[in-house]
C-alpha cells in the first residue's frame, strides 16, 4: 500500500517523473516511485508555510526518518517512509540526508554565497536524487551520473526562475543574459561529458536518468536566447515534447 501511495503522490505532484517511472521496467518503479515521492515531500516542505521554524521542523522530520532507516532499527510509520525503508541502504539514506540539508536554503530568501555554494546546492538537490536512484537500480559511474544531474539541475532552475523570483528567491548569482548564457554553456559541457561516457552507466541505471530528458533543449534555448529564461518563455510544443520523451525512453537518456 505504501508503494501505491507513493505512485499516487508522484502522479499528483510531479507529472514528468510519474511519466518517467511508468515508462521504466516494473522492477525500476519499485525504486523510482518511493524516491520521487520523497523528493516531492522534501521539496515542498519550505513552501507550504511562511513560518521558517515550521519549515525547518518539517525538513528535520525527514532527516530523522532517514537516520532511522540508515540505522536499520525501528522506523516511524509513514507511507513514504515505509516505501523508502524497503529500498534504501545506509549509504542511500546518508546521501538523501544531504539533499534535505541543501533544501534548507529554500526556506529563506538569502542569495547563494558564491559559485561553490550554488554548485553544492545543485549537486545535492539534483545529483543526490539521481545518483541514489542510479546506484540502487544497477551499475553506474558516479562522475557520469553527477555530470548529467548537474546539467538537469541547471535546466530545472532555468525553467523555475520566473516563479522563484516572484516568491522573492534569488536562485542565480548572475541572472544577466551574459550570466545565463555562460551558465547554460557550462551545463551543456557537463551534459556532453556525461553523454560521451554513457557506456559507464548500465541500461538498468539509465532509467534513473530519463527524467532529465528535457535538459538538452532547455539549455540550448537558454544559450541561444537567454532572455527567454526570465520571460518564462522556455516552453516546448507538447507533441514535440512527447516525441522527445518517447525517443529518450526507448533509445537512451543521452539523446
Render pLDDT for 4-41 as a digit per residue (tens, 0 to 9): 999 999 999 999 999 999 999 999 999 999 999 999 99
Residues 6+ apart with CB under 8 A from 30: 3, 87
Mean pLDDT for the chain overall? 94
Residue 32 is inside which H or E element, if any?
helix 26-44
C-alpha 39/C-alpha 46 separation (Å) is 12
- Which residue shows C-alpha cell 516546448? 236
Render pLDDT for 161-212 as a digit per residue (tens, 0 to 9): 998 988 888 899 999 999 999 999 999 999 999 999 999 999 999 999 999 9
For the full predicted model, state whether its pTM sits above 0.85: yes
Phi, psi angles (nearest 5°) of residue 127: -65, -45
Phi, psi angles (nearest 5°) of residue 175: -100, 15
Higher pLDDT, 253 or 190: 190
Render pLDDT for 214-238 as a digit per residue (tens, 0 to 9): 999 999 999 999 999 988 778 778 8
Q: Where are the domains of the chain?
A: 1-108, 113-255
Amino acid at each position: 500500500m505504501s508503494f501505491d501511495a507513493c505512485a499516487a503522490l508522484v502522479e499528483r505532484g510531479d507529472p514528468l517523473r510519474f511519466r518517467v517511472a511508468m515508462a521504466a521496467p516494473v522492477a525500476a518503479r519499485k525504486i523510482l516511485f518511493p524516491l520521487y515521492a520523497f523528493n516531492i515531500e522534501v521539496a515542498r516542505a519550505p513552501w507550504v508555510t511562511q513560518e521558517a521554524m515550521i519549515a525547518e521542523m518539517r525538513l528535520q522530520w525527514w532527516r530523522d526518518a532517514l537516520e532511522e532507516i540508515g540505522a536499520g532499527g525501528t522506523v516511524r510509520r509513514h507511507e513514504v517512509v515505509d516505501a523508502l525503508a524497503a529500498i534504501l541502504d545506509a549509504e542511500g539514506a546518508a546521501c538523501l540526508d544531504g539533499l534535505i540539508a541543501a533544501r534548507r536554503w529554500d526556506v529563506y530568501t538569502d542569495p547563494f554565497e558564491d559559485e561553490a555554494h550554488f554548485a553544492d546546492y545543485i549537486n545535492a538537490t539534483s545529483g543526490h536524487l539521481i545518483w541514489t536512484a542510479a546506484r540502487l537500480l544497477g551499475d553506474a559511474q558516479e562522475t557520469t551520473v553527477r555530470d548529467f544531474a548537474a546539467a538537469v539541475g541547471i535546466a530545472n532552475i532555468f525553467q523555475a526562475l520566473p516563479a522563484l523570483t516572484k516568491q522573492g528567491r534569488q536562485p542565480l548569482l548572475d541572472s544577466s543574459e551574459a550570466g545565463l548564457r555562460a551558465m547554460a554553456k557550462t551545463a551543456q559541457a557537463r551534459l556532453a561529458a556525461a553523454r560521451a561516457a554513457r557506456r559507464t552507466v548500465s541500461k538498468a541505471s539509465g532509467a534513473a536518468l530519463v527524467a532529465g530528458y528535457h535538459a538538452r533543449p532547455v539549455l540550448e534555448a537558454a544559450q541561444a536566447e537567454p532572455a527567454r529564461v526570465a520571460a518564462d518563455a522556455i516552453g516546448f510544443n507538447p507533441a514535440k515534447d512527447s516525441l522527445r520523451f518517447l525517443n529518450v525512453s526507448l533509445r537512451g537518456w543521452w539523446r
